[in-house]
Structure 1
Amino acid sequence: MSVPTTTMRIDPELKDEANKVLGELGLSLSGAVTIFLKAVVREQGLPIDMSIKPDKTDESNR
């Protein structure tokens, strides 16, 4: 099965740091992106919390 190539623009420093972490987990950047995209499809959205939470000092003022 032939898999098409996808090009992404990623900050080089971020890519290096992520590759270090992923390497320790036994994953490639491509493998990690695949896992993320499968989670997006499964969840029908981002698989992480994307909320804006109020500052704790704001809560104490209420």
Structure 2
Amino acid sequence: MASKIPATTIRIEPEVRERAGEILDELGITMSGAINIFLRAVIREGGLPFDMKVGSKADGEE
């Protein structure tokens, strides 16, 4: 049964896709499902569903 939802193409860095895919697999969520969850959160919050700050700690840096 073909989906009536149109396909959308996005660019994702290969390492990011691989690492996120491993986590999503463990959660039982597809990449498409995770992106839909994120976009619904954007709609619900009226913006990004997390704070964006300049100079914040990234990748566990102290």
Calculate the aligned-residue CA RMSD, in Å.
1.9
TM-score (norm 2): 0.79
Q: Which residue of 2 aligns with 1:34?
A: 36
Q: State the identity as a percent.
A: 50
Q: Larger helix proportion, structure 1 or 2?
A: 1
Alignment-derived partner of residue 14 in structure 1: 16
* Total equivalences in the alignment: 55
Point out the more displaced range, 44-53 or 24-33: 44-53
Match of 2:48 in 1: 46
Shift of 1:51: 2.5
Q: What is the alpha-carbon distance in structure 2 between the residues aligned to residue 46 and residue 16 of structure 1?
A: 23
**Distance (whole Å) between structure 1 residues aligned to residue 55 and residue 7 of structure 2:** 37
The list of structure 1 runs, each at least 4 consecutive aligned residues, that deviate by more than 6 angstroms after superposition, is: none
| TM-score in terms of structure 1 length | 0.79
Larger-gyration structure (1/2): 1
